[in-house]
Amino acid sequence: MGQMKIAGAALIVLGLGLAYWGYQESGSLGSQMNELVKGSPGDTVMMKYIGGAVAAVAGGLLLARK
């Protein structure tokens, strides 16, 4: 049971890290130019946001599991 809690906490940390990395990348010049031309953030930024959210939710579910 303790290993699941550790894995859940690690997934939450990983998810938050990915989301932060995506946030940092969204402020880069290349990403801003892409958003200016296409009107939406780049694919890599969105994948980091989505991956971070999925990892954080999965980690939360593992922590909440009995």
Q: Give the 3-state secondary structure percentages of the chain, helix then strand then coil, rounded to 5.
A: 85, 0, 15
Give the pLDDT band (50/70/90) at residue 66.
Answer: confident
How big is the chain, counted in residues?
66
Q: CA-based Rg of the chain, rounded to a whole angstrom? A: 15
| pLDDT tens for each residue of 4-60 | 999 999 999 999 999 999 989 888 888 788 778 887 777 888 899 999 999 999 999
In the three-class reduction of DSSP (H, G, I as helix; E, B as strand; rest coil), residue 62 is classed as: helix
d(CA 33, CA 51): 23
Per-domain boundaries in the chain: 2-64
